[in-house]
A and B are shown apart, each in its own frame.
Chain A
Amino acid sequence: MLMSIIFTIPTIILFLVIVLTYRSVATYKNGMLFAVTLPPEAMEHPELQQVQSQYKQQYKRVWLSMLIAYIPFFAMYNWTAFQIIYFLLWTCTFVIVVVFPFRRAFRATLELKRQQDWFVGKKHTIQADLRAAQLKNKRTAPLGLFILPLALGALLTWWIGTQDTQLYSLGFGAIGITLLFLVIMQLIRRSKSTVYSENSDINIALNQSKRRSLSYLFFFLALIENLHFYLIAMLLLNEQEAMSQLWLAVTISFSILPILLIAGVYRSIQTVQRDMLELDGQTVYSDDDEYWANGFTYHNPYDKSIMVPKRVGIGETINTGTTAGKIIMGGVVVLLVAVIGGVSFMLIRSELTSPSLTITAEHDIAIDYPMYSFTFDMEEIEEVELVTSIPSGAKANGEATNKYARGHFRLSELGKTRLYVFKNNPPYIRLKLSDQYVFYNDIDPEVTKQLFEQIEQAIEAAK
């Protein structure tokens, strides 16, 4: 049950982010309502106000029903595989249905805009501020700052190596994420300056301050994510089950930090923009509606920028009109499908298959199980015993539910151990090898006993 609660932490984070994002589309800000650019006078129109109130009703219905739909998740705590699949299904459904009220409101608003001819700004125009084009990066954080998180990543990798060489990939992950942020920083530096106003000084100030804020944001994110990988390492290196759950909860909750940081920085960028433009009054408008076909997707083959500020939510979105944008979008979709599909497939397979142990003709013991198969020579066996309990411990890399444990674990008293067991189902065959232990049992205790005798006999015969 505790695991269910820990798994719910990312659900809460996701739920809050999505609910808050889709609540903000219903207010008129940055000259837009439901991701459609409108003049301020349009807000007085009764039909538009109706669209707003209808949206608020529908959207509330959606998140309330999704909240209730999550409850079965807790009821499934004894069937971990199905619980996780339900979680994935719930998440996908939520992300999809929350868009429906938005699309309806978006279409209605666009239709009204066309009818009332509320167009704002020129179409098919490209603009640039000559001074901002030259001075946009003057206050951006120097790229050299990233040496710090890279060094941290290298230090982390080395330290992980001293603890357990199997976990090197964690260190590489930390370094990889830092490099990713570095690449993003470069893209931001090279992106075009935004024209906010007719006033050049304002354009320079706003472009410089946004780039400065974002560059320091990514720098801190790189540092924080190295810390995050350290927490993951602590989770995987520890040997006590109770601490395991604590580290898991800490690692997952830690992700709220980058989210809050990003939201905070973008909020301050928007405030600075709004304040400066209010004072100045010479805001430049352009009507990009035709490129935002769905309200939240941007497709403009005439625009060379790969990323543009989002209309719904915080941050930037991909321009699918560019080749690089298409590749990134395609890559993200493929990754998502592969991870969700792959994980679901592996979970179902684990529920339906069991490990099998055979003694081969070459005097090897072969344990067969998807992803964690293990074969070793019988000569490596120092001890073999039939025991009635397994010491507690933590999972390093494998599968562990209420019913079974398969894979690499770290047990107190014994250290590195491979488990292929049905829990709470003695007896267990315990094999001591030179560098690790192996526990194996069958769902039928009689079969376990028979296998044990076979192994003993095979060892005797070999002598």
Chain B
Amino acid sequence: MLISLQLDSAVPLYEQLRNEIVLGIAKGKLPIGEKLPTVRQLAEDLGINTMTVNKAYALLKQEGYIVIDRRHGAKVSGQLAHPIHAEYEAALEKNLELMIAEAVVHGMTHEQFQKLCENTFSQMNIQS
């Protein structure tokens, strides 16, 4: 799978990297159990600091998207379709509240928003 990072974006590189990997997992480009490159390999290939990649991996591990095994390296976690944490649901609701508020202020209708959600969901296709 391809990772694309924008150097002049307001979003920091480690966050972009984390986002790309999450998107990759959801869209099926990174199947469950797929091995990820080591921190050093990825940093070398992207030409960025190892600390940046380290931060991204640490974040992903903390959020449960990947597991890091000392011997085998980083892998996409097999535990993804587990029951939703209450914390995660609360945070999601908060983010949605803001997004929907903005959409409503911009004049978006309920149906339009639903359509948008459906389209986006249909792009997701977790592979195992």
Contacts and interface: CB of A to CB of B under 8 A. Distances in A.
B1 A200 contact: yes
Interface in B26-46: 30, 35-38, 41-42, 44-46
Given A130-B30, A133-B37, A190 B3 contact: no
Contact of B46 (A124, A131, A190, A192): A192
Given A131-B1, A134-B37, A200-B1, A193 B45 contact: yes
Chain A interface main SS type? mixed
B42 A130 contact: yes
Most B-side CB within 10 Å, residue of A134, A302, A303? A134
Contacts of B45: 128-129, 132-133, 192-193
A304 B47 CA distance: 5
B56 to A, nearest CB: 12
B8 interface: yes
A128 B42 contact: yes
A126 B7 CA distance: 7
Contact of A303 (B38, B41, B47): B47
A125 B46 contact: no
A122 to B, nearest CB: 8
B2 A284 contact: yes
Most B-side CB within 10 Å, residue of A122, A130, A192? A130
Interface in A122-149: 122, 124-134
A127 B2 CA distance: 7
Given A130-B1, A130-B37, A131-B1, A302 B6 contact: no
A281 B93 CA distance: 41
Nearest to B37: A133
Contacts of A127: 2-5, 46
B48 interface: yes
B7 A128 contact: no
B interface residue count range (under 10 / 10 to 19 / 20 to 34 / 35 or more)? 20 to 34
Interface string A343-374: 00000000000000000000000000000000
Given A129-B2, A192-B46, 9 more contacts: A127-B46, A129-B45, A131-B1, A133-B37, A133-B42, A134-B37, A192-B44, A192-B47, A302-B7
Contacts of A198: 2
A408 to B, nearest CB: 50
A347 B2 CA distance: 58
A345 B8 CA distance: 51
A222 to B, nearest CB: 25
A200 B2 contact: yes
A128 B43 CA distance: 10
A129 B7 contact: no
Interface in A35-93: none
13 contacts: A122-B4, A126-B4, A126-B48, A127-B2, A128-B45, A133-B45, A134-B38, A192-B44, A192-B45, A198-B2, A200-B1, A302-B47, A304-B48
Contacts of B41: 133-134
B85 to A, nearest CB: 27
A195 interface: yes
Nearest to A136: B45
B5 A126 contact: yes
A125 B1 CA distance: 16
Interface in B43-59: 44-48
A305 interface: yes
Nearest to A305: B47
A77 to B, nearest CB: 53
B36 A128 contact: no
Among all A-B residue pairs, the 8 with the closest Cβ atoms: A304-B47, A133-B45, A128-B45, A133-B37, A192-B45, A124-B7, A128-B46, A134-B37
A195 B44 contact: no
Nearest to A282: B2
A195 B2 contact: yes
A189 to B, nearest CB: 11
B59 to A, nearest CB: 17
Nearest to B30: A130
B66 to A, nearest CB: 12
B6 A129 contact: no
